[in-house]
Structures are given as C-alpha cells and as structure tokens.
Structure 1
Amino acid sequence: MRIGLLTEGGYPYVSGDASLWCDRLVRGLRQHEFDLYALSRSERQVNEGWVELPPQVDRVRTAPLWTAGDDGAGYGRRARRRFDECFGELAAALCAGVPEGARQPSETFPHRSGEDRALEADRFSRALYGLAELARDEGGLPDALRSERAVRALERACRAPGAARPAREARVPDLLTVAARLEHALRPLSFGWYEDDALGSADLCHAASGGAAALVGLVARHFFGVPLLVTEYGVRLRTHYLTSGAGPTATAAPCVRSLLAAFHGMLATEVYRQAACLTPGNAHARRWQERCGADRDKLHTVYPGMDAAPFAEVGEAPDCADPDTLLWVGRVDPAKDLVSLLHAFAEVRKEEPKTRLRIVATAVGPEGEAYLGHCRMLAAQLFPDEAEGPYAMGDNPVSFEEIGGPETPTVADAYAAGGVTVLSSVVEGFPVGLVEAMLCGRATVSTDVGAVVEVIGGTGLVVPPRNPRALAEACVTLLRDPERRARLGAAARARALELFTVEQSVKAFHGIYLEIISRSPVDRAALDRAGEPLPFAVPAEARLPGRWTGRASRIAARGGPGWAAGAPVRPTAPVAGPTTTEGAR
C-alpha cells in the first residue's frame, strides 16, 4: 500500500511538532510504502534539516507555508471570470456564515437554520474545489488572492443582502487583512502535488493534522478519489479559537476575526465531512470533533505511541527513589504553571520539612528562558534562608536541572530520582511526560487539564489547575503513604503498557489503513503506453499482501498515465513544481 503522509511543520523536519509519532508510525509499518508531503513553517525549520528517514520512505516533497509562490502566470479573460465566480462564492459563504456571538463550536453559524448551514457548507466546498481546479489549470492563484479583484469580491459579499452583521462592519483595511490571511490559508491549493505520479499514485492520504495538511488531502480526494485519514492530537479549529487574539490578528478588528473564524470553521466541517476516518488522539479532541460536526461513526481514538524500552529498567527495578523528593520534568513555558507548583511546594514544606523539589527543565526560546529565570528568582524568594544569593541554588530545597547533566543523564534517570511526579499545567494536550512517569512506575499528582484524566485513569491523584493548596495537599498525601505510592505506580505502569506504547498505536493505524482501503479503494484504470485500457490488468488479489502481488500487478494497480505498464515504479528524478522542492530517495 502506498501512503501519502501529509504533515504541516512536522515530519521529517528535526524541529517538527509531530516528528516523533510520525517517525514511529512510518518505521513500524514496514510493509507499506510512504511518500511524504511536508509543509514547512519557517526558513529556520528548513535550514535545520530532516531526521534520518527509514527505507520505506520512497520520496519526500516539500513546500513552504511561510512564503507565497509566484509562478508568473497571468490570467486572461476566461481565467479572471473563473476566479471571480469561485472566490465570490467563497466570500459569500464566509459572510453569510460569520458567527454572531457564538459560544460553542457547534454554534459556528448560530443565526442560520440547519438547512441554511448545509447550503453555505456546500457553497464553500464548491468554491474551494473551483479554486483548486483553477490553480491546477491556470496557475497564478496566490497573485489573484492578493489582488484588488479579491478585495472587491470580499467587499461585495460583505455589502450583499443576507450578510451577517460583523461582515457588514468590515472596512477596506479589514478586507485587505482578510484577503492576506485567506491567501496564506489557501496556499496548498497551488502546490504542484496534484498529479498522477504524485498524490494521484497514493492509495491513501494520511494527514497528520487538520488545517493546511488536511486541505492537501481534500484536494487529492477531489481530483483522484484518494481516501483521506485525518489524525488530530490537538484540534486545529480549537487552536484557532484560542489563538485568534494573538499573533498577526492580535490587533485585528472583530469583523476580521469573525470572517477568519468562519473560514476555519467551514474548512473543518468540510474536512470532517469528506474524511473516510478521523483518529483523535484522546477523548478531549474527540469531543471537539463531534461538536464541530464530525460523524461519530468515523471517529476512532488512537493514542500516540510511546517507546517503552528506555523506561523498562526503571519501571521494572525495585523502587529506590528518594521518598521525600517531588519531581517535575518537561519543557518550560507559562502554560506549565511552575509558579503554582513553587507556591504549592512552599505549603508542602510546612507539612513535610524534609521534602525537596527537583525541576528538570528544558527552556525553548526567549519566552521559555525568561519564564525559567522568573521561576528561579521566585524559588529564591520563597526560601530565602536556604539560598546563598538571589539566584543561587546552593542548599535551596528547589533544584533546577537539565537532561544530560551529572544528576540526570537521561529522562529515565530523572524519573528514577523522584518519589512523586507532579504535573502543574493549566493547558495540556496529550501529557507525554505523564505517560513517561507512568512507564517508570511512578505515582503522579496532576492538574485536571486536557487529556490528563483520560491518561491517568485512576492511577494517580488529580486536582484543579491554578490551585496551589489542592496541589500541595495531594502531594503530602502521597509523601506520607509509601504503600499507596507503590500501588499507584504499579497500576500506572500497567495502564501505560496496555494503552500508550508504539506497538499499540502502529497496530491500530495498520488496521485502520486496511479498513479504509477495503471500504473505499481508489478506482484507477490500468493503461498501456499508448494510453489505452488494459483489460484484466489488475488481478483480484492485487491489494492483498503476499508473494502473488508481483511488480507488474503493483504497477497496473496504480494505473494512470504516470503508472503505465512497463513504467518505473518510482520516479528516478525530482519532479519539479512551482512551489515545491523534492528529495528522491
């Protein structure tokens, strides 16, 4: 089976968000061939390079999201008419679907009836695929989306009868901002990937996130009928809602935020409607997808797989950790709320004076460095009699360490040193560090955020976020009860081995791949070199693994001009595209 793996700012880049689980998935499914279609988020990410790719990765094609492509194509009269029609439909759908005071994801269009919402969704999808066809036939879509024609189309839609109130309030500067943001969001429509020898040759597209990566899969499904699988560990629409007041739209007018929310809401609706299967990474993401319109029958929760091998020795060894040590491990940023943890530890010291807190921290970026410095200063202020200076950590009961240091050479060594592992976050998706602690057989105290309760499943203590007193009471409870710590740690390790290992994740995705292909195989005609159909060219067993599926059967099964009988199975040279770079393996 040939899988087109679609990523955004992730695999195969070294600094990618989803690099780890994608790499484990690809390496675990050695029986399949993978083509990577990777969207990069910054020039820095591109310069940092790729991770080492396994042999089952056949080829990699990349495209930047951080810069707009310019193929130099100009539109004639017919192409301009097509653009005006398609983009006008898109703008009209957005202006009619602007949320007015919506409070829940299911209320994306609260002022419209169910029939009207379905009509606008169909209008949006027709416009979206019309723009994709225009980009493939004529090129030049990024320039058109940045043009005055696009702004005028938005203005007409905002002034048209039936437009929602926030859209009617938009002014020309607001429309310029909306047009620029839509151009950025629609860049995947212009990539040179929608050919028979690219995404057209895939048996299945697997998007590693929603948003731009899923949009690529939507277009491949539209052009070639390739079924789409979408995995979301963090729902992209939720991320947009949470960050709409930050970044480029931080100072934007309410009408701008409303129009962009309408676009992302309609895109999520179309992705969930057209995807053959959705695999949320936890129940929290699953609930969001359901509230955003996903069909419950398409949803299959697949937890991200963790490599249990590095933690086996610690998890299976007798508990020799310091029973008076609390441990925190993770990447430092304000969402981890180390400030509340330090205040909670001050309360713990009043009850258990021998207790120490070890913070094994990795600071990323200026914000992380600044927050870590603030936490160091706070620790010195909370325990002034035990510090040698404003930033010194001499005899201070709080120590700040890094992985690779003499005390904690590996992550497993860090968990081995603590009697109780603490998570104090106020925002959390899937708590990877919590699973690592569970694999090490450690009792945990966590805040009730994200998928924490789902991961813990009764094997640890859970308290409300931003509540130092409750966090301190839970820590004291476990510090004073070694037998309970041991029971919870053993139960946590058993749960993690049952649900959160790489083997479980790979097995689940393998079964989902086969199920999708069995229900919605790609229908391609096998052609000879002259482009004529080859009768009986595809044997019935062509899609089943085994010795009987030889080279000729696989070539014929892929079909299409790019996979004609006798043609090479893989391209021997990079396939150029106006906004694409490729590395062929």
Structure 2
Amino acid sequence: MRIGLLTEGGYPYVGGDAGLWCDRLVRGLGQHEFDVYALSRTERQEDQGWVRLPPQVGRVRTAPLWAAHDDGVVYGRRTRRRFAEAYGELLAAVCGEPRAAGAEAPGDPEDSVGAEADRFASALYGLAELARDEGGLAGALRSETAMRVLERACRAPGAPRTARTARVPDLLTVAAHIERTLRPLSLDWYEDDALGSADLCHAAAGGAAALPGLLARHFLGVPLLVTEYGVQLRAHYLAAATLEEAPAVRALLAAFHGRLATEVYRAAAIVTPGNTHARRWQERCGADRAKLRTVHPGMEAARFADVGEGVRGSRCADPGALVWVGRVEPSKDLISLLHAFAEVRRAEPDTRLRIVGAPAEDPEAATYLTHCKALAAQLFPDEAEGVHAVGDNPVSFEEIGGPEIPSLADAYACGALVVLSSVVEGFPVSLVEAMFCGRATVSTDVGAVVEVIGGTGLVVPPRNPRALAEACVALLRDPERRERLGAAARARALELFTVEQNITAFHGIYLEIVSHSPVRRVVVDDEGEPLPFGVPAEAHVPGRWTVTRFMTERRPRRAEGAPVRATVPPPASAAVFAGEGA
C-alpha cells in the first residue's frame, strides 16, 4: 500500500523531532511505499538538509511553517464575506460564543461541547474549501477583515472574560499564531496525484502535522492514522506557561488548539498514543476510547546488548556510583538530584554521582548547567576544586564521547544505579535505555515512568530530594536486589520497547485501517486493463466497505528491478454491494 507520512518539524530533516522513529518505521516496512509530506519549522532546519532516505520513499513534498509567503490572491466582495463567515464561526467556536438567534441550543452540557466541536470542524473545512477554490488563505488570514472578525468574537456576549480583556497587541499575536497553524490549508497537496494517491495518511504528530490528513480525508476520503508520542496540546500548554504572554493570548490559543485536537481525534480512524499518560490526555480531549491503540516507541536494543548481558557491565560498573543520563535542562530537575545526593553522601560517604549530559545547544541549557555546577561546588566545598573531572570528586559533569564514556552504553555501564529526577517527562527514553542495559533505576513519578518501569525499579514523588535519597541508599546497600531489578527491567524492555514490536504493531494497524476503508482507486496497466488479484476480500462486503465512486489511475510499466506495488481494481459488482446494507 502507499502511505502518506505527515510530519511537522521532523522527518526527513536531519534536525527533526521524532526523525529516528519515522526512519525506523519506513525502513522496517519495506513492503509498503511511502510519500513524505513535511512541514518545516525553521529556515535553519531546511538548510541542514535531509537524512538519507530508503528506496521505499517515493517522493518528498515540503512546505515551510516559518515563513509567510504572499499568495497573491485577492478576494472579491463575495469571497471576503464568505471568508468572514467561516472564520467568524471558527473563532466563535473557540471563544464559546453563543449561536445566532433562532439556532438550536442543546440543553445537555455534553451536547453543547459536541455542538461547538462540530461548529469548529464545519468552519475549518469551510476555510479549506475556500482556500481550494480561491488558491489560498494566507493573505486573508493576515488581513484587516480577519482582525475585525477576531475582535468581534472576543467582544461578543458569552465570550470568556479573559478573551474580552484582549488588547490590540494581544489580538495581533493570536491572529499571527492561528494564521501560522492554518497554513497547511493553503497547500496544493489535496489532489488525486498527491495525497489522493495514498491508501492511508499517517500523521506523526497532532496539531499542524495532522491538518493535511484532515483535508485529505475531507476532500478525498483517505483514512487518517494519528500517532502522538508527545501530545501536541500538552506541549502547547507547557510552552505557554513559560512565555510572558497576556492571559487573553494564552486562553485563546489554548482553546484554539483544544478544538483542533478534538477534531483530529474525531476524524482519525485510529489514534496511537505512545503510553497511557498520552492516552489519558487524548481521552480528555474527546478521543473515542475504541479508536485508541497504545503503541510504545521502538528503540534500538542491540547497542545496549553487551552491557545488558554482562559482557562489559561487570568490567565498567562502579558499585558506588549513581548515574544520570540525558539533556541538561530545567525540567530534568538536577537541582533536586544534587540535594538528594548530598543526603546519600551522608549515609554512604564513598558514593559518587556522574551526570552525563548531551552538549548544551541553547543558552538556557548552558545557563542551567552552569548553575548546577555552581550548586555542586557549594554542596561539596571541600572537594569543589576540579569538580568537573572524574576521579575522587563526588560529582562529575561529563559528555559522551570522551575517554571515560566513549558511547551511550558506556554511560549506563559506568555506575550501579541509574537515577531519573525529572519534574516533566513524556516517554522516558533514558529510563528505557537503562533497562536495556540491565540497570536498576530510581525515578520520579512523572509522565509515563510508572507505566514504563512496571515494578522493575523504585519510583518516588518528584521534587522530593529526601525520598529520592532514601531510595538510592536502599538499592546501594542491597546489590542482590539491584541485580534482580536490573534483570527484570531488561526482560521488560526487550518485550515491550524494541523497534521490532513497534514496526509489527504499525503494520497490523495499517492493514486494519485499509481493510475497513472503501476502495477508492482503480489501478490499470498501460493497456487500460485492471491488474488481477488486486481486490481484497473485504471489498465485496456490503455497507461502508465499498463505494460507488471510483478513481481510475493508469499505471505505467514497472522498470526492471523496481518494487512491486499492490493495486486495487474495482469489484464487478461494486455498485450493487454499495447500495446494500447502507
């Protein structure tokens, strides 16, 4: 089958989010063809180029989210009125503005929520149809008309109090953000020779990445699969909390992204969260529980095999060392870890802490690392000199690639106990890597930690240095327990979190979605004859499995050595079956 893989700021860019997961998925499903539709976030990301693509990637189409291009489209009076009506309905649904006089207002609060979701979806697709008819929305979304519509929605009776306090600068910020998010509506991807040729759209994230999938479903009937390893709405909330924006801006954008997330979950055939924590977020946003399939991220276990199986572990492990591995940033709460380690040292004076972090790439991370080093020097004043080196100093700050830690596996092998001290975490990658290495762990109860650990490590409350210290001391004093927990953790990781299980799960989901989707396309050879044996048995089942409308695609002769693509000619009795059981 042909998969339209939809990404935002990810694959196939070298510096993209979740690029490694997408690459493993595409390479692991070599029996399928992939067309990649990528939205880039920054000019720097585009300049860095793409990763090396496997042969099953047929084509790549990209569009920037970081630059607003003038589409040159000038709306007439009637078209401007049409835009104002659709955009006004969308913003009214965001603001919770009451419907016009005479419109039915459901009495049940749940019905009201559903009605507002339908209102948002109807307006969104109305804007998409306008963009398709007129050639784009970019200019309209940045126009004075759009600003007037936004201000009217914020000032309307029934709008939230925070929205009514929005000033002109706030409205400009909100309008710019909505325009950026809705840029995919103006793309030319929604034709038969683009997303219309896909059997399935797979969005590697929610939000803007899933918008092309929504429109492919709306215009072309292509089913949509949405995968979220980090819930986009949650990420937006966390990012908004760190920005110095007015309350009106935060409230309006939160409502907008909430409505968009609800529509993405409603339209998707299946939604695959990466863990139960993400699944709960999706259910709270309106995702149908019957559509949810938890698929844990797949990670490469082979590079940790030597440590996990004891080939290098017995030589490298320091029974008196705690190890922390990850990106140094405030959400990892190394401050609490250092305070906890001070208590560990009072109970076990020979213990050392090795903080192994990736090189700081942004000023905030560099500043936080400097602060952590200063705190370490303050907590251990007698040993402050040379605190950055490995030796007799109780705390060391190291990077992978040096003589002591040449690889990531060696980072986990250099200590007896791995610690995770985060206050915010999605899927804890470093924790799974430690489990592959057969290491006992002490972690804070955030994100998907409890789900990942599953009883094979100790879990303590976040921001509680004393609890973290007590758990570390308990395992440091009991090597047999550490060994039992490490062996159980490795067995669990190999069962649930490998690349192979991830690929197998998505292969089955692809088949499930396509088998329940209507036959939309007829593929014929260069002589116009349908290719034989291309109709799945499910295409003959009455009801929603078949449709009367077919799209014909002429297939050229396959070049020698080229991969064979599965095809779907129409059943002879398609029109008959389409009318039965409806």
Q: Which residue of 1 aligns with 2:565?
A: none
Q: CA deviation at 1:528?
A: 10
SS at match of 1:313: helix
Q: CA deviation at 1:82?
A: 2.0
- For 1:161 and 1:421, the matched residues in 2 are separated by 55
CA contact (8 A) 1:527 1:560 kept: no
Q: Which residue of 2 aligns with 1:84?
A: 84
Deviations 1:293-348 (A, max 9, x none): 11000000000001011011111126411111111111110111111111111111
Deviations 1:534-564 (A, max 9, x none): 7x836563459xxxxxxxxxxxxx9747x33
CA contact (8 A) 1:2 1:203 kept: yes
Q: How does 1:209-248 map to 2 (within 5 A)?
A: 209-247=205-243
* Higher RCO (CA 8 Å, separation ≥ 6 residues): 1
RMSD after superposition: 2.4
- Greater Cα shift, 267-276 or 65-74: 65-74
SS at match of 1:244: helix
Aligned match of 1:277 in 260, 270, 273? Answer: 270
Aligned match of 2:554 in 564, 567, 570? Answer: 564
Q: CA deviation at 1:186?
A: 0.6
SS at match of 2:35: strand
SS at match of 2:320: strand
Q: Which residue of 2 aligns with 1:474?
A: 471
Aligned match of 2:287 in 285, 294, 312? Answer: 294
TM-aligned CA distance change 1:385 to 1:517, over 3 Å:
same
- For 2:76 and 2:558, the matched residues in 1 are separated by 37
Q: CA deviation at 1:281?
A: 0.3
Q: CA deviation at 1:28?
A: 0.7
CA contact (8 A) 1:227 1:522 kept: no
Q: Which residue of 2 aligns with 1:184?
A: 180
Q: Which residue of 1 aligns with 2:513?
A: 516
Q: CA deviation at 1:161?
A: 4.3
Question: Which residue type is aligned with residue 480 of structure 2?
Answer: E
CA contact (8 A) 1:13 1:48 kept: yes
Aligned match of 1:366 in 344, 363, 366? Answer: 363
2:272 corresponds to 1:251: no
TM-aligned CA distance change 1:112 to 1:500, over 3 Å:
same
Question: Which residue type is aligned with residue 564 of structure 1?
Answer: R
Listed as ranges, the gaps of 5+ residues in structure 1 are 99-110, 545-557, 570-585
Q: Which residue of 2 aligns with 1:354?
A: 350
SS at match of 2:375: helix
Q: Which residue of 2 aligns with 1:264?
A: 257
- For 1:147 and 1:124, the matched residues in 2 are separated by 21
Deviations 1:4-46 (A, max 9, x none): 1111111111111111111111111010111111111111111
SS at match of 2:241: coil
Question: Which residue type is aligned with residue 422 of structure 1?
Answer: V
Q: CA deviation at 1:267?
A: 0.7
SS at match of 1:328: strand
TM-score of the two chains, using structure 1 as the length reference: 0.87
Q: CA deviation at 1:112?
A: 7.8
SS at match of 2:15: coil
Question: Which residue type is aligned with residue 140 of structure 2?
Answer: A
Q: CA deviation at 1:204?
A: 0.5
- For 1:182 and 1:297, the matched residues in 2 are separated by 31
Q: How does 1:106-255 map to 2 (within 5 A)?
A: 113-247=109-243, 250-252=244-246, 254-255=247-248
- For 1:82 and 1:166, the matched residues in 2 are separated by 28
Q: How does 1:23-42 map to 2 (within 5 A)?
A: 23-42=23-42
- For 1:185 and 1:453, the matched residues in 2 are separated by 34
Question: Which residue type is aligned with residue 554 of structure 2?
Answer: A
TM-aligned CA distance change 1:161 to 1:529, over 3 Å:
farther
- For 1:391 and 1:112, the matched residues in 2 are separated by 62
Question: Which residue type is aligned with residue 428 of structure 1?
Answer: E
Q: CA deviation at 1:257?
A: 2.3
Q: Which residue of 2 aligns with 1:461?
A: 458
Listed as ranges, the gaps of 5+ residues in structure 2 are 99-106, 538-548, 560-582
Question: Which residue type is aligned with residue 8 of structure 1?
Answer: E
TM-aligned CA distance change 1:158 to 1:397, over 3 Å:
closer
Identity %: 74
- For 2:241 and 2:491, the matched residues in 1 are separated by 42
- For 2:372 and 2:162, the matched residues in 1 are separated by 42
Q: Which residue of 2 aligns with 1:505?
A: 502
SS at match of 1:322: coil
- For 2:405 and 2:86, the matched residues in 1 are separated by 58
Q: Which residue of 2 aligns with 1:411?
A: 408
Question: Which residue type is aligned with residue 55 of structure 1?
Answer: P
Q: CA deviation at 1:395?
A: 3.3
- For 1:477 and 1:200, the matched residues in 2 are separated by 59
- For 2:417 and 2:406, the matched residues in 1 are separated by 19
Q: CA deviation at 1:391?
A: 6.4
- For 1:72 and 1:117, the matched residues in 2 are separated by 37
Aligned match of 1:493 in 486, 490, 515? Answer: 490
- For 2:387 and 2:484, the matched residues in 1 are separated by 40
CA contact (8 A) 2:298 2:497 kept: yes
CA contact (8 A) 1:280 1:299 kept: yes
Question: Which residue type is aligned with residue 261 of structure 2?
Answer: A
Q: CA deviation at 1:134?
A: 1.2
TM-aligned CA distance change 1:29 to 1:382, over 3 Å:
same
Question: Which residue type is aligned with residue 361 of structure 2?
Answer: V
Q: Which residue of 1 aligns with 2:103?
A: none
Q: Which residue of 1 aligns with 2:376?
A: 379
Deviations 1:512-533 (A, max 9, x none): 0000001124523568999xxx
Count of residue pairs the alignment pairs up: 537
